[in-house]
């Protein structure tokens, strides 16, 4: 895993560091501006992001249990995996890494996954989750690399025509009564507190479409249409609440 680019300050807001040396190195790069009112805490072997608001709770990445564990064991059945056309040699650039569930499913299905995540706190939570996930499938973890960068500029350097670019920007905000997953709510609150919303769907998609990648996959809420000025996808794989829009292009373009 490539440590994130340096930010101001170092390692503030952390109660104890008992995580492995690579994670400790990443922690040193996190400044107060990246955490806002939130804190990082290590409990046992797990790094948590803790909110000052009791109703927001805390957040860690666990790829081994719950939905990630269950779905990871059956990853080849996932619509995401079909949308990305994963076979053994597939290289996916996951340009909106987040908490890594999708990268994990892709890697467990056999893809090599280059994960790009802009927010250093999210990147370190994911790095910690990947470190612990080695006990379940170390080969899948070895197929994942993680970089803390802005994908919009990073994708400009992508030269691999056989790569798949995958995008899953944060969904548009919903009414309070309909707020989704508590973990994504906490993530959205962290972004708002640290002025890192940055989920620029048009910018991300334009950067992805400008690469030579033969396939670009975008995850969106099922009922939310794409903005008019975005090129129509080649096809969609729709489910109950989400759909995958796929732009598929011949290799020579």
Interface residue list for ligand SAM (CB under 6 A): 96, 98-102, 116-119, 122, 150-152, 168-170, 198-199, 204
Nearer residue to ligand SAM within complex by CB, 36 or 98: 98
Tokens of residue 204, six digits: 């991300």
Q: 120 near 198, Cβ under 8 Å? A: no
For tokens 């893809």, name the residue: 111
Nearer residue to ligand SAM within complex by CB, 53 or 197: 197
Rounded to an integer, what distance in angstroms lies between the CA atom of residue 101 and that of residue 126? 9
Tokens of residue 226, six digits: 């794409």
As measured in angstroms, the least distance from the Cβ of 251 to ligand SAM is 26
Nearer residue to ligand SAM within complex by CB, 17 or 236: 236
Other CB atoms within 10 A of residue 180 CB: 12
How long is the chain? 253
Sheet holding 46-50, edge to edge: 39-43, 46-50, 58-59
As measured in angstroms, the least distance from the Cβ of 252 to ligand SAM is 28
As measured in angstroms, the least distance from the Cβ of 175 to ligand SAM is 18
As measured in angstroms, the least distance from the Cβ of 141 to ligand SAM is 15
Nearer residue to ligand SAM within complex by CB, 107 or 116: 116
Nearer residue to ligand SAM within complex by CB, 19 or 201: 201
Nearer residue to ligand SAM within complex by CB, 17 or 82: 82
As measured in angstroms, the least distance from the Cβ of 156 to ligand SAM is 12
Q: 19 near 128, Cβ under 8 Å? A: yes
As measured in angstroms, the least distance from the Cβ of 35 to ligand SAM is 14
Distances (CA, A) of 123 to 103, 147, 188, 226: 13, 8, 15, 28
């Amino acid at each position: 895993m490539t440590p994130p680019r340096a930010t101001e300050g170092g390692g503030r807001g952390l109660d104890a560091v008992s995580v492995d040396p690579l994670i400790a190195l990443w922690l040193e790069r996190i400044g107060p501006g990246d955490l806002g009112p939130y804190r990082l805490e290590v409990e046992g072997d797990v790094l948590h992001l803790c909110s000052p608001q009791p109703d927001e709770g805390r957040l860690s990445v666990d790829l081994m249990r719950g939905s990630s564990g269950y779905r990871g064991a059956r990853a080849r059945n996932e619509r995401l995996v079909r949308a990305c056309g994963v076979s053994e040699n597939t290289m996916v650039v996951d340009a909106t890494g987040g908490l890594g569930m999708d990268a994990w499913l892709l890697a467990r299905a056999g893809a090599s996954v280059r994960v790009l995540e802009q927010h250093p706190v999210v990147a370190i939570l994911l790095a910690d989750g990947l470190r612990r996930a080695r006990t379940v499938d170390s080969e899948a973890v070895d197929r994942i690399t993680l970089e803390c960068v802005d994908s919009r500029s990073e994708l400009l350097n992508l030269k691999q025509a056989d790569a798949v670019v995958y995008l899953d920007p944060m969904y548009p905000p919903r009414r309070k009564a309909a707020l989704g997953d508590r973990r994504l709510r906490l993530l959205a609150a962290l972004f708002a507190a640290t002025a890192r919303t940055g989920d620029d769907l048009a910018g991300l998609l334009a950067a992805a479409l400008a690469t030579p990648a033969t396939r670009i996959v975008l995850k969106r809420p099922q009922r939310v249409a794409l903005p008019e000025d975005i090129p129509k996808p080649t096809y969609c794989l729709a489910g109950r609440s989400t759909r995958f829009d796929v732009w598929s292009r011949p290799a020579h373009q």
